[in-house]
Structure 1
Amino acid sequence: MPEVAGSLWSVAAGQQLEAIQRLQAAGLRRLHWDMTDGRFAKPGGFTASQALALTQATGLAAEAHIMAEDPTSDIDAWSEFCDLIVVHAESPRWAQAVDRISARGCIPGLAISPDTPAAVVPADMAVLCMSITPGTAGSAFNDAVLNKVSALRNASSERRIGLDGGVQRRHVERAVEAGADWFVVGTDLFLNDAVHVWNDILRPND
């Protein structure tokens, strides 16, 4: 069964804790925290301290997605409460960031933007495929990303492969067939009132 990580990028600050608790009651078990440096992607997302407070308030597992030209200086703060930290392959210092993530005892992952080819990702690394331009939450899912997912899965049968950007429940079956096993979902969980259509994934044993 694929895993869903909830992204609160588009949820207003005063509504975030309530939104998480509502989704937690529906079966959500993982939070996805986005951070940008305002250069690699437009300003938005969360600081590590903001994400830590909300994560601790709910007790859910957490992962971080750092959209920064140089993510290395941000690793330590996020590693305090995230088990997975994703940085971008388009960052010139992604390899140094991955080494730091591993040194901090977390799982490293590489995100790739829509125009970045699958071949840049080492076969032994978790990868998060962006269907939209980083930092443009709420944009529509681009089906072309499924070809990239297939290429990544063909290169490695073992690694974790995720999709991020405009993901809706109706995309899941085709994405799983392509090889995805991890979905970052924001709008369709938190803003579209579509939680009920995710029930079979959020609560697979009910």
Structure 2
Amino acid sequence: MTVGPPRVAGSLWSVDPADQARNLAAAVEGGMNRVHWDHADGEFAAAGGFASERAAELAGELTGMSGVAHETHVMFTDPLGQVDAWTDLCRRIVVHVETPRWRETVARIERRGSEAALALSPRTPAGAAPDDLAVLCMSVTPGQAGSTFDRAALRKVAELAERNPDRELGLDGGVTRAIVPEALAAGATWLVVGNDLFGPGGLDRWSDVLE
């Protein structure tokens, strides 16, 4: 069982563009030290999120706020061509195991000096992921921000944790403060949080969890 709070990465996917810079700065001031940049191509997942240029622009506005780590979740049918645009900003790049060239993409990410992680869509079994990479279990259909948390993802995390308890395991999609105890019990160490963090009262709700 995981000890201590999970690492929380804030996703701005559903935040109004006019409010993104302000909300990001407020979350970092409130203790959030990971930012999760989604980018979807409209084919693998509903189009949305952030191009690398926009993410870098927003990250650059965090003037004087050191220690913030950035990660990206690339929801593209072929993410290989997207890697180079993200490695300058992001410590970790997440790609989907359902994409045909994920192994090549992982190798490219690592050659570029970033850490690779794999995402599993809700219908993809835990066994599709190798044991040596961090895994992000989707608890909503990729690209469907604002959907309800699928509790089957907790069982998937538990299965992955049993196979390798030392790697980082995450949940992404519909994550709320209320599911944190169950997420920790399942073995999750990494939570991607959007609406429940950036919506009304979110920073207060998550204040005891944020690093």
CA distance in 2 between counterparts of 1:133 and 1:71 reads 18
Q: Which amino acid aligns with 2:175?
A: V
3-state DSSP of counterpart to 1:137: coil
Structure 1 stretches of 4+ with a deviation exceeding 3 A read none
For the pair 1:90 / 2:83, whether they are aligned, the reply is no
SS where residue 49 of structure 2 aligns? Answer: coil
State yes or no: 1:175 paired with 2:179.
no
Paired residue type of 1:54? L
Q: Indicate yes or no: 2:37 matched with 1:29.
A: no
What secondary structure does 2:174 align onto? Answer: coil
C-alpha offsets along residues 57-95 of structure 1, whole Å, 9 cap, x if unaligned? 215210000000100000001001100000001101111
Aligned twin of 1:44:
48
**Match in the other structure for 2:170:** 162
Q: TM-score by structure 2 length?
A: 0.94
Question: What CA distance in whole angstroms lies between the structure 2 residues aligned with 1:166 and 1:56?
Answer: 28
Mapped partners of 1:33, 1:117: distance in 2: 24
Question: What is the aligned counterpart of 1:113 among 104, 109, 121?
Answer: 121
Correspondence for 1:103: 111
Q: How far 1:167 moved relative to its partner? A: 0.2
Confirm whether residue 196 of structure 1 aligns to residue 204 of structure 2. Answer: yes
Amino acid at match of 2:71: E
- TM-score under structure 1 length normalisation: 0.96
The residue that corresponds to 2:85 in the other structure is 77
C-alpha distance in 1 between matches for 2:24 and 2:111: 30
Q: CA offsets, 1:6-49, max 9 Å, x none? A: 00000111110000011112111110000011100011000000
Q: Secondary structure at the match of 2:207?
A: helix
- After superposition, what is the alpha-carbon deviation per residue over 1:134-155, rounded to whole angstroms, capped at 9, x for unaligned? 0000001111111100000001
Instruction: Map 1:121-160 onto structure 2 (within 5 A).
Output: 121-160=129-168
Q: Tell me the matched-pair count.
A: 203
Conservation of the 8 A alpha-carbon contact between 1:55 and 1:61:
no
Where in structure 2 are there 5+ consecutive unaligned residues? none
Partner of 2:23: 19
| Residues 146-182 of structure 1: per-residue CA shift (max 9 Å, x gap) | 1100000001011100000000001011111100000
5+ residue gaps, structure 1: none
Instruction: Give the RMSD, CA atoms, in angstroms.
Output: 0.9
How high is the sequence identity, in percent, across the aligned residues?
48
Q: Distance in 2 between matches of 1:194 and 1:19?
A: 11
CA distance in 1, matches of 2:173, 2:200: 14
- Shift, 1:184, TM fit: 0.2
